[in-house]
Amino acid sequence: MTSVEVKIILERDIFAECIEELSKRKVILDLGGRRRFYKWLAPFKEKFASSHYFCLDILPNPNLDVVEDILFLPFASESADGIICHSVLEHVYEPQLAVKEISRVLKQGGGAFFYVPFLYHITEAKANQIAIALLRMLCSTCIEISPKYGCNRSTATSASRLGF
């Protein structure tokens, strides 16, 4: 089992800084992106100019690189330097298997950005407890989690095998 530092950020939106960091990596997979540089990634398209960026979704689209289920990624083990998984896991029937598959294709030292929205009006302390419990449940088969920060209902989670 691989040890990983998971940062759950409370005080700010970390999307831009995580995407900026991931865009510097060589091979990047955008899982469940619907189409290349869709919505929130559009402003960052130029940042990926020197990267090999691949967008995967389960539904066919002419502006998509790979049509496949996130549970069966058609990439070799440890082939991706970076992974973006924005607003996807809440739609997956077996998210634990998706996280395990993501862990399989992510290179040692690679980075992953996960965003799963909270839809309930709860306190930040309760959201923190739920986020940590969910991360432990989702990732227990493939990575060891050591939470470092708090969380709120609109938080993004950044995970990296070497720290982000």
Is residue 46 one of the residues assigned to a domain? yes
Is residue 73 domain-resident? yes
pTM for this predicted structure: 0.75
Q: Is residue 142 part of a domain?
A: no
Q: What are phi and psi of 98, to 5 degrees?
A: -65, -45
Average pLDDT over residues 28-54: 94
pLDDT of residue 122: 60
**Residue 55 domain-assigned (yes or no):** yes
How buried is 20 (Cβ within 10 angstroms: 0-12 exposed, 13-18 middle, 19+ buried)? Answer: exposed
Q: Answer whether residue 111 shows pLDDT above 60.
A: yes
Per the domain annotation, does 127 fall within a domain?
Answer: no
pLDDT at 58: 95
Range of the domain at 53: 12-122+156-160
Q: What is the pLDDT of residue 30?
A: 96
The domain total for the chain is 1
For residue 27, being part of any structural domain is answered with yes
What tens digit of pLDDT does each residue of 60-84 get?
999 999 999 999 999 999 999 999 9
Per-residue pLDDT averaged across 43-50, rounded?
Answer: 95
DSSP string for the chain: -EEEEEEE--SS--HHHHHHHHTTSSEEEEET-SSTT-GGGGGGGGGGTTSEEEEEESS--TT-SEE--GGG--S-TT-EEEEEEES-GGG-S-HHHHHHHHHHHEEEEEEEEEE----S---HHHHHHHHHHHHHHHHTTTEEEEE-S---TT-EEEEESS--
Instruction: Indicate whether 39 belongs to any domain.
Output: yes
Q: What is the average pLDDT across 149-154?
A: 33
Q: Which of 18-22, 126-130, 137-141 has the lowest mean pLDDT?
A: 137-141
Mean pLDDT over residues 136-149, rounded?
A: 51
Q: Has residue 151 been placed in a domain?
A: no
d(CA 114, CA 159): 8
Q: What is the CATH number of the domain that holds 24?
A: 3.40.50.150
Q: pLDDT at position 159, please?
A: 37
Decide if pLDDT at 114 tops 90.
Answer: no
